[in-house]
């Protein structure tokens, strides 16, 4: 039993009704600052030496052996060990009969460092989102205030320019909010897909024509003959291709090349987007798919590639990055022709 418990990633402590420690694995002993062998048979008060901010012990606060008959456990709590490190605990009360007296307790212990790291990541996320939202919102606020205060002094051309800028900033806010919602849905597994057999050529050609109409950069499209259809939510597929082509236009120079061919990795289609920029170093290619990863001064929310990876995986496909033949970066998306969605 002890050997198996030592393989468990969290700490485990067990005690009998008499308050004597009956089991303590290595992880639990490390968190409590005791020797796992020497702790066996000792009073629980000598081993479970965890304190709250007021100096009260775990046993004084929870009093597990005096719990009313309907209580089955103790929810997660934060405590400090002898070294001042945070320890998170949960407990299960063992009863031989459903409403009988407590015959023993099982306490789970784990380090609070993981939660602290998550808290820092959440704080970083909130700060980044706030920064991304504040920039266009400041522009909207400034121009609206100028229009309100100086409407009669502005020419029609000046008013039109300000309103055009406000409209562009509002579109930027809407896109960012939509991307954040997509990220949340991907993270929580609540992404709704409505896939069907679709023509990759038709969908990609629409994206290329739309983006090419709004940029001076040349975008070429090469399509392999007899290309199979893909099994995809057309809107999500279009979103993936749009993000890839817009990234190539934003980060590269010269021509952007888009290719469609049969996939060698799965039964489906490979979408290839090449730019003529500086490329992406091998050591950074995994980071490209993390949230808010950006490089250079070309802007963007840093969510596009994270969403690309998430949408591709949700359909049963995947994304890889390589070097483009003429320099720059090559991004490849392998998309299945059958339903390979994750359950």
CATH of the domain at 160: 1.10.287.130
Cα gap 269→337, rounded to integer Å: 7
Domain boundary (127, 160, 188) is at: 188
- Any domain includes 34: yes
User: Given this model, what pLDDT does residue 297 score?
Assistant: 54
pLDDT tens for 283-340 read 888 888 888 777 655 556 678 899 999 999 999 999 999 999 878 899 999 999 998 8
Q: Which residues contact 138 (CB under 8 A, 6 or more apart)?
A: none
Distances in Å between the alpha carbon of 220 and those of 87, 193, 240, 258?
57, 29, 17, 6
Residue 206 phi, psi dihedral angles, 5° rounding: -60, -45
- Any domain includes 341: no
User: Given this model, what pLDDT does residue 289 score?
Assistant: 87
pLDDT > 60? residue 183:
yes
Co-location of 105 and 120 in the same domain: no
Count of all residues that appear for the chain in the document: 343
User: Given this model, what pLDDT does residue 291 score?
Assistant: 80
Structure token digits, residue 36: 């796992």
Co-location of 23 and 96 in the same domain: yes
User: Given this model, what pLDDT does residue 1 score?
Assistant: 57
CATH number at residue 93: 3.30.450.20
Co-location of 126 and 49 in the same domain: no
pTM of the model as a whole:
0.63
Residue 257: strand pairing partners: 220, 274
Task: Decide: 332 and 271 in contact? Cβ < 8 Å.
Answer: yes
- Any domain includes 267: yes
- Any domain includes 342: no
pLDDT tens for 114-153 read 777 777 767 777 777 787 788 888 989 999 999 999 999 9
Residue 222 phi, psi dihedral angles, 5° rounding: -120, 130
- Any domain includes 305: yes
Cα gap 166→148, rounded to integer Å: 13
CATH number at residue 209: 3.30.565.10
Co-location of 214 and 326 in the same domain: yes
pLDDT tens for 31-52 read 999 999 999 999 999 999 999 9
Cα gap 196→121, rounded to integer Å: 37
Residue 97 phi, psi dihedral angles, 5° rounding: -125, 150
Co-location of 213 and 253 in the same domain: yes
Domain boundary (111, 134, 156) is at: 111
Average pLDDT value for the chain:
89
User: Given this model, what pLDDT does residue 278 score?
Assistant: 83
Co-location of 99 and 153 in the same domain: no
Co-location of 173 and 243 in the same domain: no
> What is the span of the domain harbouring residue 7?
2-111
Domain boundary (86, 111, 136) is at: 111
Co-location of 171 and 303 in the same domain: no
């Amino acid at each position: 039993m002890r050997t198996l418990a030592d393989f468990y990633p969290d700490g485990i402590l067990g005690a009998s009704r008499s308050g004597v420690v009956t089991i303590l694995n290595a992880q639990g002993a490390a968190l409590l600052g005791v020797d796992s062998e020497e702790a066996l048979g000792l009073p629980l008060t000598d081993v479970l030496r965890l304190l709250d901010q007021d100096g009260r012990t775990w046993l004084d606060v929870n009093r597990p052996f005096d719990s009313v008959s309907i209580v089955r456990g103790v929810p997660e709590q934060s405590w400090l060990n002898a070294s001042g490190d945070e320890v998170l605990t949960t407990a299960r009360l063992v009863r031989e009969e459903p409403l009988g007296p407590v015959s023993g307790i099982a306490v789970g212990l784990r380090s609070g460092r993981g939660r602290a790291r998550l808290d820092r990541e959440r704080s970083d996320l909130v700060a980044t989102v706030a920064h991304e939202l504040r920039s266009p919102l400041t522009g909207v606020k400034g121009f609206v205030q100028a229009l309100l205060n100086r409407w009669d002094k502005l020419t029609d051309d000046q008013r039109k320019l300000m309103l055009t800028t406000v409209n562009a900033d509002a579109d930027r806010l809407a896109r960012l909010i939509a991307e954040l919602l997509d990220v949340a849905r991907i993270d929580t597994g609540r992404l709704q897909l409505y896939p069907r057999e679709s023509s990759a050529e038709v969908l990609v050609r629409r994206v290329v024509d739309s983006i090419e109409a709004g940029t001076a950069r040349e975008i070429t499209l090469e399509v392999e003959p007899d290309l199979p259809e893909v099994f995809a939510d057309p809107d999500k597929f279009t979103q993936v291709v749009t993000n890839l082509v817009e990234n190539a236009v934003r980060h590269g120079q010269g021509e952007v090349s888009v290719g469609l061919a049969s996939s060698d990795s799965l039964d489906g289609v490979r979408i290839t987007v090449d730019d003529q920029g500086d490329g992406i170093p091998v050591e950074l290619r995994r980071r490209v798919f993390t949230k808010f990863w950006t490089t250079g001064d070309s802007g963007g929310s840093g969510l596009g590639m994270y969403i690309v990876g998430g949408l591709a995986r949700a359909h049963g496909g995947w994304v890889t990055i390589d070097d483009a033949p003429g320099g720059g970066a090559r991004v490849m998306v392998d998309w299945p022709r059958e339903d390979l969605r994750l359950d």
